[in-house]
Each structure stands twice: as structure tokens, then as C-alpha cells.
Amino acid sequence: MRRPLEDVIVLDLTTALAGPFATLVLGGLGARVIKIENPAQPDACRENAPYLGRDGATLTRQYPDDVSFSAINRLRNKLGVTLDLKRPEARAVFRDLVGHADMLVENFSRGALDRMGAGFDAVHAINPRLVYCSITGFGKEDTGSGKAMDTIIQALSGVMLTSGSEGDPPVRLGVPFADLTTPLFGVIGALAALHQAKATGVGQHVDVSMLGVMSSLVAEEPLETLERCGLPQRTGLRMPRLNPFGVYPTRDGYLAICAYTDPFAHALFRAMGRAELAANENFRTRDQRVENAAALDAIIEEFTGARSTAETIAALDVNEVPCGAVRHPAEALRDPRVLGRGATMMLSHPKYGIAGEVPGMGLPIAFSDSDAGFDQPPPGVGEHNDAVYSGILGYSKERVEGLKSVRAI
């Protein structure tokens, strides 16, 4: 089957995680992504621990052909070329690439690409129809010099003080949430701009900031309003405004219960053998349950704490109460329901195949009449120079060798 974006060529001028994740998604959707790296300073993700190699997974590089887990995860389905944009010979090559491309994605610090002749204005002059997507820390209009790292953005956005309980120190989300959500908005914006460009013939600059995305997501919850109404912003494992809604201890672990509607709550009472609570004036409606959340949570904990997780879920399932066990990531990522759909997948070393049984990101999108996903290994540095420069741009062998001799590629 055809892939949704197989007619789209994307120039990838990204590094670290936020940018490469955006182009990873585009590659999984079928776009021909050309990953451009400085031959002297390739993408920093290639040096991230752990590594996969002939001996499986190791914390440090053991052999020259060991490949970083990050590189295997983020660089799949991309053509790898080298190009040093600081050299004039390379800038001519870059202009040719821009002329063939539909989209460019970058996450350089402000002004860096402008100084190399690869900023939006320069690219737009070469190819007016190209969509230029910038993933920035604070937005292209920001004039500060602050560095945008995931943990810094989590701190600045306020999200660190939404998890945990009152009085706890800030809680950093365990996955790099800012680095992973910002590129998704970048892809949405870039594809919207590409759709418009196909109608108008004119591309545009799409700018998505990490701080903007994270702040927007934090704003989804009415935290300040709830605090003014007497509910703390940090409520630990529970969400009192939807009570009963949260994570409860069992005899051998924890499980999540989300019985936020009256029918769900009443079904929970039946599962607990406390059907009379549905008529109790403290718990009959959601507003009453919210006002008496602590008392109801204590009753629920008495029920869950006396049983194993499996026993509790069995009792809740019979009564169709929404619930789920709190699982270790190693178990969750191997769930047949996500592996079977390609949402997660076991990563392979480009040379040695499956190594260490390490799960990685898949593409959690299923199409009824299109093919999508990751089926190409991460490229070595400059692995596809000939395929791109000779095959796509039509350069002669002599010109490619000449570019190599002056270290432009």
C-alpha cells in the first residue's frame, strides 16, 4: 500500500530529541527524510547511552560499530547525508537540496541557521513553496539566550508543581514530555502549512515553542480555579474533582480506578459489596463525592488494600468499572495490544539484528488503506551521500568526490 507522505521530501536539520522526533514521525508516515549532519559533529544522540551491539545492550560503547539506543530509536526511516554548512561549497549543495524539498525541519538555536545561509528568509527565496518548521525553546521572537532543555521547560511551564502532593518537592515527569509533545504540534502545523502550500504554491514558517506547548497543556486543567475553591493544585495519586478517580493501593501493588460518573461510582459500590453507598447523601452524586472525597477514598482503600491487584480488577471488571493495573514499563511496552499495532517495537541493530530485546517507539497510528511505520534502520553518518547527491541531485561522481576532498560533505 502507498504511504501517506511518500511524495514529500523533508530536509532534516535537527539534533538531540525534539527535532529528530518530529522527522521520525514524518518518516514513519512515508516522507523521504534526508537527515543532514555536520561530518565533524554528527547528531549528539549518536553518543547517548545505552548502546546496542554484537554483545547486546551495554551502558558504554564496547566496539566501534555499537550504536546508541537513541540513534536507533530516532534516526530510523531517514537517509543520512553529511554537509558542513559553514563551507561555501556545501551551501551550494544545500541550495540544490532546498530546490528539491517540500519541507525543512530544524531546531537550531536562534540565529544559527541564518548565519549559515539556511534560515527561513534564505530558504524561502530559493524555494517559495517549501514549508519551514522550527522547533524552538521559547519562540522565534524571543531574544533571550536561555537554553531550552526538557527539564528546564518542565520547570518553567509549571508542570513540575502539578504532580505529587502538597509540600512535596517538584516532580520531574519521567519521560521527556516537552521534547516529545512539542514535535507533535510541529508536525501538525507543518502538515497544515503543506496542505495550504499545495493550494497556494507558497510555503511559510511554522514556529512551535517548547514552553508554549507545555504551558498550553498545563492550562488544560483549571488548577488556579480549583485552588480558589478549596482544592489544592497538587493532589498526589488522586483527582478529587472527579472522585473516585485515581490510583489506589492493593495487597501486592496499585491500580487505577476512574469511576467519575454516577453509574460508574454506583457500580464500584456494588463491586465493593457496599451498594448502599449509592443512596448515601455523602456519596450519591458527583458533587457529594467531591465534597467527601477523603472519606470515600478511605472506604475504597479498605476494599482494595485487602485484595490482590488481580482479585480487585476481577471484581471491578464484572461490574464494568473502569480500572487498570499500575504496570512496570517493561511489561507495559510488551503488551500484545501495543506491539501488535506497532505502537512499540523491538529495536534492531543495523548489522546484528535484534540485540538485547530492547523495546522502542513505534508509530501509534493505524490507517485503513495506507502503510506506515518504521522499517528502515538508522543510517550511519553520511551513509546515503551517494544516493542523495548522485541519485536525487544528479551530481557526477567527480563532483561528489570533489565535495569530499574539501570536507564539504
Lowest-pLDDT choice from 50-54, 83-87, 121-125, 313-317: 50-54
245-249 and 344-349 strand pairing: unpaired
**Are 305 and 354 found together in one domain?**
no
Those residues whose C-beta lies under 8 Å from the C-beta of residue 204, and which sit 6 or more positions away, are 131, 132, 193, 196, 197
Mean pLDDT of 383-389: 97
Mean pLDDT of 253-273: 98
**Are 317 and 348 found together in one domain?**
no
**Are 400 and 349 found together in one domain?**
yes
Are the beta carbons of 250 and 309 closer than 8 angstroms?
yes
Choose the final residue of a domain: 325, 346, 378: 325
Give residue 405's pLDDT. 95
Q: pLDDT at residue 8 above 90? A: yes
pLDDT in tens, 59-82: 999 999 999 999 999 999 999 999
**Are 160 and 34 found together in one domain?**
yes
Write the single-letter amino acid at 326: V
Give residue 328's pLDDT. 96
Q: pLDDT at residue 355 above 80? A: no
C-beta atoms surrounding 360 within 10 Å: 17
Q: How far, in Å, CA of 263 to CA of 320, rounded?
A: 10
- Does the residue 13 lie in any domain? yes
Q: pLDDT at residue 144 above 80? A: no
- Does the residue 230 lie in any domain? no
C-beta atoms surrounding 406 within 10 Å: 12
* CATH number for the domain that contains residue 340: 3.40.50.10540
- Does the residue 354 lie in any domain? yes
Lowest-pLDDT choice from 72-81, 172-181, 224-233, 312-321: 224-233
Indicate the number of domains in the chain: 2
- Does the residue 225 lie in any domain? no
Give residue 17's pLDDT. 95
Q: pLDDT at residue 56 above 90? A: no
**Are 140 and 179 found together in one domain?**
yes
Of the candidates 9, 46, 32, 80, the residue with the CA atom closest to the CA atom of residue 385: 80
Those residues whose C-beta lies under 8 Å from the C-beta of residue 111, and which sit 6 or more positions away, are 119
Mean pLDDT of 77-92: 96
Choose the final residue of a domain: 304, 325, 346: 325
Side-chain-side CA neighbours of 398 within 13 Å: the count stands at: 0
- Does the residue 3 lie in any domain? no
Q: Residue 145: pLDDT band by 50, 70, 90 thresholds?
A: low
Segments forming the whole domain that contains residue 283:
239-249+254-325
**Are 161 and 290 found together in one domain?**
no
* CATH number for the domain that contains residue 274: 3.30.1540.10
pLDDT in tens, 168-210: 999 999 999 999 999 999 999 999 999 999 999 999 999 999 9
**Are 204 and 185 found together in one domain?**
yes
**Are 86 and 53 found together in one domain?**
yes
pLDDT in tens, 242-256: 999 999 999 999 999
Report the chain's mean pLDDT, rounded to a whole number. 95
Cα-based torsion angle of the residue sequence 207, 209, 214, 218 in order, rounded to the nearest 10 degrees: -70
Give residue 140's pLDDT. 83
Q: Residue 132: pLDDT band by 50, 70, 90 thresholds?
A: very high
pLDDT in tens, 285-303: 999 999 999 999 999 999 9
**Are 174 and 41 found together in one domain?**
yes
Q: Which of 278-286's residues contact partners 24+ apart within 8 Å by CB, and which partners? A: 286/242, 286/243, 286/260, 286/261, 286/262
Q: Which residues pair with 136 in a beta bridge?
A: 209
- Does the residue 353 lie in any domain? yes
Of the candidates 56, 82, 80, 88, the residue with the CA atom closest to the CA atom of residue 69: 56
Mean pLDDT of 1-12: 96
Mean pLDDT of 358-382: 94
Q: Which residues pair with 134 in a beta bridge?
A: 106, 207
Q: pLDDT at residue 263 above 80? A: yes
**Are 22 and 87 found together in one domain?**
yes
Burial 220-251 (b: 16+ CB within 10 A, else e): eeebeebeeeebeebbeebbbbbbbbbebebe
Give residue 189's pLDDT. 98
How many percent of the chain have pLDDT more than 90?
89
User: Which is more confidently placed, 110 or 103?
Assistant: 103
Q: How far, in Å, CA of 133 to CA of 148, rounded?
A: 17
Choose the final residue of a domain: 325, 349, 384: 325
